């Protein structure tokens, strides 16, 4: 069923209970593709849903109006999880597309837009649709160059697209109805928006200038109870604020690298540092990034394999490098046989994202670490906790 948010404003999106991978981000709780319908003198649809959920989406619209009556479709962002139902809904409605110049360029590259009619808007442009007025604000690189948000002035609703989203599949629509929304939003931020965190403060400043009752993102639940809290969290996650926490990420062939990492962890804990340990072959990399975002220390371990990094570790390093977390004290460790190479590759990634490398001869052990090796790793952990 559709969900009425305010007078003549409805959620008409689709729930994806089964999705478990969102371009490399594990979505263990599924997701939603949120679309919103405004019925005034003009009928406006804000964003659409992923193509394979079109029928569910269309059915919700039909419970409110005849889809042929849709006058405008606002495209806040062209990524296909939001736009891949556009072709079908335009064929039914012949609606005009309201979007920005960059999004129009992207739409032309995704679809056959030959017969589409566009209304191009810029920041602070507005559209009167009867009793209601919509205001458009561009938010480029949050997280594509085409991103914008739409603000329903009289109803005090911000349709924020990917900003403030979470990957949660639920029949409940509001933050106060679903447990763990803030943590889900943090994981979403860490895996989607982190590379663009320097842009967040200005975006929040823009949002703060608006009178907002509801924040309606394109994934997950709608923020009603915690509108102020989620804005504060975004500012916190976008800052370089860290906790006295270490995240140890590794994989191991025969257990030697694991032993090194666990010994360092014991020393860190002895020094008063909270520690999270993840074995990559058994862990969700999106959950790891969720922990790294506010960690002071990041330690990554790998055995040397064919003069290179262990495959699972290499995959994670590339993923992390793309997300560009910053201001971390970093440690590379591992075991090797006849030639040590893995930690050199790890340190190169650390350098690429401006982590502060910390080195020690005890961090690489040939074949199997002896008791004295593990004691040195423990002492290293204690020393590291004081940095």
- Identify the DSSP state of 193: I
**Domain at 19, CATH number:** 3.60.15.10
Tell me the pLDDT tens digit for each residue of 277-309: 999 999 999 999 999 999 999 999 999 999 999
Number of neighbours of residue 354 by Cβ within 10 angstroms: 12
Same-domain check for residues 231 and 251 = no
* CA-closest candidate to residue 14, choices 224, 219, 222, 162: 219
Tell me the pLDDT tens digit for each residue of 169-186: 999 999 999 999 999 999
Residue 187 forms part of a structural domain: yes
Residue 387 forms part of a structural domain: no
**DSSP strand E in 34-175: where?**
36-39, 43-46, 72-74, 96-99, 118-120, 125-128, 133-138, 148-152, 157-161
Domain end call among 215, 238, 261:
238
Which member of 82, 143, 167, 345 is catalytic? Answer: 143
Question: Is residue 188 among the annotated active site residues?
Answer: yes
Same-domain check for residues 274 and 336 = yes
Confidence of residue 95 (pLDDT cuts 50, 70, 90): very high
Same-domain check for residues 134 and 215 = yes
Same-domain check for residues 109 and 226 = yes
Which member of 33, 36, 151, 188 is catalytic? Answer: 188
Peptide bond between residue 356 and the one before it cis (omega within 30 degrees of 0)? no
Domain total of the chain: 2
Which member of 47, 146, 162, 226 is catalytic? Answer: 162
Domain end call among 238, 270, 305:
238
Same-domain check for residues 95 and 192 = yes
Residue 184 forms part of a structural domain: yes
Question: Is residue 359 among the annotated active site residues?
Answer: no
Which member of 33, 77, 345, 378 is catalytic? Answer: 77
Tell me the pLDDT tens digit for each residue of 11-66: 999 999 999 988 888 899 999 999 999 999 999 999 999 999 999 999 999 999 99
Which member of 196, 219, 251, 378 is catalytic? Answer: 219
Question: Is residue 23 among the annotated active site residues?
Answer: yes
Same-domain check for residues 209 and 269 = no
Question: Is residue 155 among the annotated active site residues?
Answer: no
> Which residue pairs from 372-375 have beta carbons closer than 8 angstroms and sit at least 24 positions apart in sequence?
373/260, 374/259, 374/260, 374/263, 375/263
Same-domain check for residues 250 and 360 = yes
Residue 89 forms part of a structural domain: yes
Confidence of residue 240 (pLDDT cuts 50, 70, 90): confident
Question: Is residue 51 among the annotated active site residues?
Answer: no
Question: Is residue 72 among the annotated active site residues?
Answer: no
Domain that holds residue 353: 243-382
Encoded tokens for 93: 């409605």
Report the predicted TM-score, pTM, of the whole model to 2 decimal places.
Answer: 0.94
**Domain at 374, CATH number:** 3.40.50.360
Q: What is the mean pLDDT of residues 249-266?
A: 97
Same-domain check for residues 335 and 260 = yes
Same-domain check for residues 210 and 286 = no
33 neighbors 218 (Cβ within 8 angstroms): yes
Same-domain check for residues 227 and 296 = no
Same-domain check for residues 213 and 249 = no
CA 264 – CA 147 distance, rounded (Å): 43
Look over the chain and give the mean of its residue pLDDT values, rounded to a whole number.
Answer: 97
Domain end call among 206, 238, 270:
238
Question: Is residue 79 among the annotated active site residues?
Answer: yes
Same-domain check for residues 16 and 109 = yes
């Amino acid at each position: 069923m559709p969900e009425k948010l305010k007078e003549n404003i409805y959620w008409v999106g689709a729930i994806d209970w089964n999705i478990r991978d969102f371009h490399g981000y594990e979505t263990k709780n599924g997701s939603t593709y949120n679309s919103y319908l405004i019925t005034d003198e003009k009928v406006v649809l804000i964003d659409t849903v992923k193509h394979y959920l079109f029928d569910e989406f269309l059915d919700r619209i039909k419970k409110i109006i005849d889809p042929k009556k849709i006058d405008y479709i606002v495209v806040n962002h062209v990524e296909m999880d939001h736009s891949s139902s556009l072709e079908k809904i335009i064929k039914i409605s012949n609606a005009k597309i309201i979007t920005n110049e960059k999004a129009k360029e992207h739409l032309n590259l995704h679809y056959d837009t030959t017969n589409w009619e566009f209304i191009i808007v810029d920041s602070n442009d507005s559209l009167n649709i009867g009793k209601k007025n919509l205001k458009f604000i561009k938010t480029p690189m949050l997280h594509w160059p085409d991103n914008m948000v739409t603000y329903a002035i009289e109803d005090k609703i911000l349709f924020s697209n990917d900003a403030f989203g979470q990957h949660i599949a639920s029949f409940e629509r509001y933050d106060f109805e679903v447990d763990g929304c803030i943590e889900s939003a943090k994981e979403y931020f860490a895996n989607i928006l982190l590379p663009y965190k320097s842009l967040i403060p200005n975006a929040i400043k823009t949002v703060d200038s608006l009178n907002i009752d509801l924040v309606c993102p394109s994934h997950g639940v709608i923020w009603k109870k915690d509108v102020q809290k989620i804005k504060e969290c975004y500012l916190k996650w976008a800052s370089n604020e860290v906790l006295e926490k270490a995240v140890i990420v590794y994989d191991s062939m025969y257990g030697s690298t694991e032993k090194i990492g666990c010994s360092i962890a014991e020393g860190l804990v002895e020094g008063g540092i909270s520690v999270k340990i993840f074995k990559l072959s058994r862990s969700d990399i999106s959950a790891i990034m969720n922990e790294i975002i506010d960690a002071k220390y990041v330690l990554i371990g790998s055995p040397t394999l064919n003069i290179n990094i262990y495959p699972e570790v290499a995959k994670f390093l590339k993923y992390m490098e793309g997300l560009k977390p910053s201001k971390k004290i970093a440690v590379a460790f591992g075991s090797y046989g006849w030639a040590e190479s893995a930690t050199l590759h790890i340190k190169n990634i650390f350098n690429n994202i401006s982590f502060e490398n910390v080195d020690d001869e005890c961090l690489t052990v040939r074949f199997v670490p002896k008791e004295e090796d593990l004691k040195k790793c423990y002492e290293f952990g204690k020393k590291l906790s004081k940095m």
